[in-house]
Chains A and B, each alone.
Chain A
Amino acid sequence: MLVCRDLVKSYRNKTAVSGISLDVEPGKIYALLGPNGSGKTTWMKIVAGLVKPTSGTITYNGEPIGANTKRKIAYMPTEPFFYDYMTIANVGKYYQDFFDDFDPNRFEELIKQMDLNMTDKAKSLSSGLAAKLKIAATLARKAELYLLDEPLNGVDIIARDHVITAILEAANENSSIVLSSHLVDELEKIIDNAVFIKDGSMVLCGEAEKIRAERGKSIVDLYKEIYA
């Protein structure tokens, strides 16, 4: 499915991603773990086609990242990004115009679940509500690969359950989900694989169950051990 080899992204003063090689397989939920600045977002942006790698290769179903892979990969950035004039309904229409896999009924359902109103302006939403809108727009696509960057950021404890439920509903045997989050304990319950990134490099990767069995520790404890 997604194959990246020796992926590097360097800026003038730093290397954000340093030689990451990772395969993302269908039907699995991956947690991309690491503190701020570890390279998670840059890696996701490379997969989404927003950032061009300095070196290395990356393909999705055998084709390089580009306009065609964007039809199958749904990326949710961590920052708000909708146009200033847009209402929530406009956001849905925009996604419907550009993504063939967007389901407007599912979008409406998710908007209701998240306690949002179609007439509200995206720009004037609080950070928590804006995060819910991003999640609803992204998960209303029937994508093959979802990349959700910090989907629980700014979302209150009660709404987190809604978000996690929506993520699990999007997961199926044909689609994969890659989640990045600092809230490791929230993710531990739902992930199949864990990828630990430190200073742009992958330090540990594998099936969550296997890692727990081999190391005799939960993912949360391993996170503390690696990044402490």
Chain B
Amino acid sequence: MFKLMKYEFRKQLLSKIVILAMVGILELMFIYGVIAEKANTVASAVGFFMVLAFISIMFVSFECAFTYSKDLKTKQSYMLFLTPNSAYGIVGAKVLTTIAQVFLTGVVFGTVIIANILFMAAKYHSVKEVIEVVQQFFKEAMQLDIQMDLIVSLLVYMLVYWILLIVIAMFAITLTYTFLANAKFKELVSIALFFLILWGVQKIAEFILPDLAHITSYIMLGATGIYLVLTALFYLGTAWMLDKKVSV
């Protein structure tokens, strides 16, 4: 499993280098803005940085699906499917690699944000002041009475839902390459299937939990449970099709 993950990561390394290079450029822009005291440059760097963080995490999440699609449609599939690994191991390694990569991407962006706060603090000689400003920002901008249990359930809920999205994408791709192997425009069919399945999943969740739209810890716990079961089912379905039906 770890060897499969190592090569999955290696296959997707280029995008990480590009993301790191872009982070580096924006960081230089930010540092220059702070040192030269150019508020516009700092604001632009922060703005671009937020956009880059969002796009990067979305891309890293779904890069797994692009790589999987390539694995199925090109001759490079032999590299993967000639190895003595079960389909369950192959799909599992892909999902775990994606989780690890998104986590690492988050860590990189988080570290840069903290480093920038400290840098500003050093520049203006008061860490306390900066922290107070940040706290004030969250208080005023969000105007939320934040409950810890709600935040934790929301984070777990988002993580599980996001893993479900990745597994559904892989399921849709596998379905296209097995039972719909003769279909034209396979990529478009996969995308259409993805949204169709996602709609179905939402309906199932709403059927079991009619109050899904009302955010409470209990509702999110229930929804997380439903999504976990569905994730397991889609994972098993994907691996089963890969094992029994896919010809490369």
A interface with B by C-beta (< 8 Å): 12, 45, 48-52, 66-68, 70-71, 75, 77, 79-85, 94, 97-99
- Closest CB of chain A to B15's CB: distance in Å? 13
Partner of B182 from A12, A45, A75, A82 at Cβ < 8 Å: A12
- Check if A79 sits within 8 Å of B247, measured CB to CB: no
- Check if B82 sits within 8 Å of A94, measured CB to CB: no
- Check if B247 sits within 8 Å of A51, measured CB to CB: yes
Question: What are 28 residue pairs bridging A and B, where the CB atoms are less than 8 Å apart in the complex?
Answer: A12-B182, A48-B82, A49-B81, A49-B82, A50-B78, A50-B82, A50-B248, A51-B248, A52-B245, A66-B86, A66-B243, A67-B84, A67-B85, A70-B82, A75-B78, A77-B78, A79-B75, A80-B75, A81-B75, A81-B78, A81-B79, A83-B11, A84-B76, A85-B10, A85-B14, A94-B79, A98-B3, A98-B84
- Closest CB of chain B to A153's CB: distance in Å? 14
Query: Could you say which residues of chain B place their CB within 8 Å of the CB of A97?
Result: 3, 6-7
5 A-B pairs with least C-beta separation: A51-B247, A70-B84, A81-B78, A98-B83, A71-B84
Query: Could you say which residues of chain B place their CB within 8 Å of the CB of A45?
Result: 247
Question: In the complex, A52 Cα to B81 Cα: how many Å?
Answer: 12
* In the complex, B214 has a CB within 8 A of chain A: no
Majority SS at the chain A contact face: loop
- Closest CB of chain A to B172's CB: distance in Å? 20
- Closest CB of chain A to B86's CB: distance in Å? 5
B interface with A by C-beta (< 8 Å): 3, 6-7, 10-11, 13-14, 75-79, 81-86, 89, 182, 243-248
- Closest CB of chain A to B16's CB: distance in Å? 13
- Check if A82 sits within 8 Å of B81, measured CB to CB: no
Question: In the complex, A116 Cα to B3 Cα: how many Å?
Answer: 26
- Check if A77 sits within 8 Å of B247, measured CB to CB: no
- Check if B244 sits within 8 Å of A52, measured CB to CB: yes
Question: In the complex, A208 Cα to B7 Cα: how many Å?
Answer: 43
Query: Could you say which residues of chain A place their CB within 8 Å of the CB of B243?
Result: 66
Question: In the complex, A52 Cα to B84 Cα: how many Å?
Answer: 16
Query: Could you say which residues of chain A place their CB within 8 Å of the CB of B84?
Result: 67-68, 70-71, 98-99
- Closest CB of chain A to B200's CB: distance in Å? 27
Query: Could you say which residues of chain A place their CB within 8 Å of the CB of B83?
Result: 70, 98-99
Question: In the complex, A84 Cα to B182 Cα: how many Å?
Answer: 28
Query: Could you say which residues of chain B place their CB within 8 Å of the CB of A82?
Result: 76, 79
Given known contacts A66-B243, A83-B79, A85-B14, what 19 new A-B pairs fall within 8 Å (CB)? A49-B81, A50-B81, A50-B247, A66-B86, A67-B86, A68-B84, A70-B84, A75-B82, A77-B78, A81-B79, A82-B76, A82-B79, A83-B10, A83-B76, A84-B76, A94-B79, A97-B3, A97-B7, A98-B85
Question: In the complex, A75 Cα to B84 Cα: how many Å?
Answer: 12
Question: In the complex, A68 Cα to B248 Cα: how many Å?
Answer: 18
Query: Could you say which residues of chain B place their CB within 8 Å of the CB of A51?
Result: 247-248
- Closest CB of chain A to B97's CB: distance in Å? 15
- Closest CB of chain A to B1's CB: distance in Å? 12
- Closest CB of chain A to B202's CB: distance in Å? 33
Query: Could you say which residues of chain A place their CB within 8 Å of the CB of B245?
Result: 52
Question: In the complex, A84 Cα to B11 Cα: how many Å?
Answer: 9
A98 to chain B: closest residue by CB: B83
Partner of A81 from B13, B76, B89, B246 at Cβ < 8 Å: B76
Query: Could you say which residues of chain A place their CB within 8 Å of the CB of B247?
Result: 45, 50-52
Question: In the complex, A84 Cα to B76 Cα: how many Å?
Answer: 9
Question: In the complex, A49 Cα to B243 Cα: how many Å?
Answer: 9
Question: In the complex, A168 Cα to B79 Cα: how many Å?
Answer: 25
B4 to chain A: closest residue by CB: A98
Query: Could you say which residues of chain B place their CB within 8 Å of the CB of A85?
Result: 10-11, 13-14
Question: In the complex, A195 Cα to B13 Cα: how many Å?
Answer: 45
- Check if A77 sits within 8 Å of B75, measured CB to CB: yes
- Closest CB of chain B to A132's CB: distance in Å? 17
Query: Could you say which residues of chain B place their CB within 8 Å of the CB of A52?
Result: 244-247
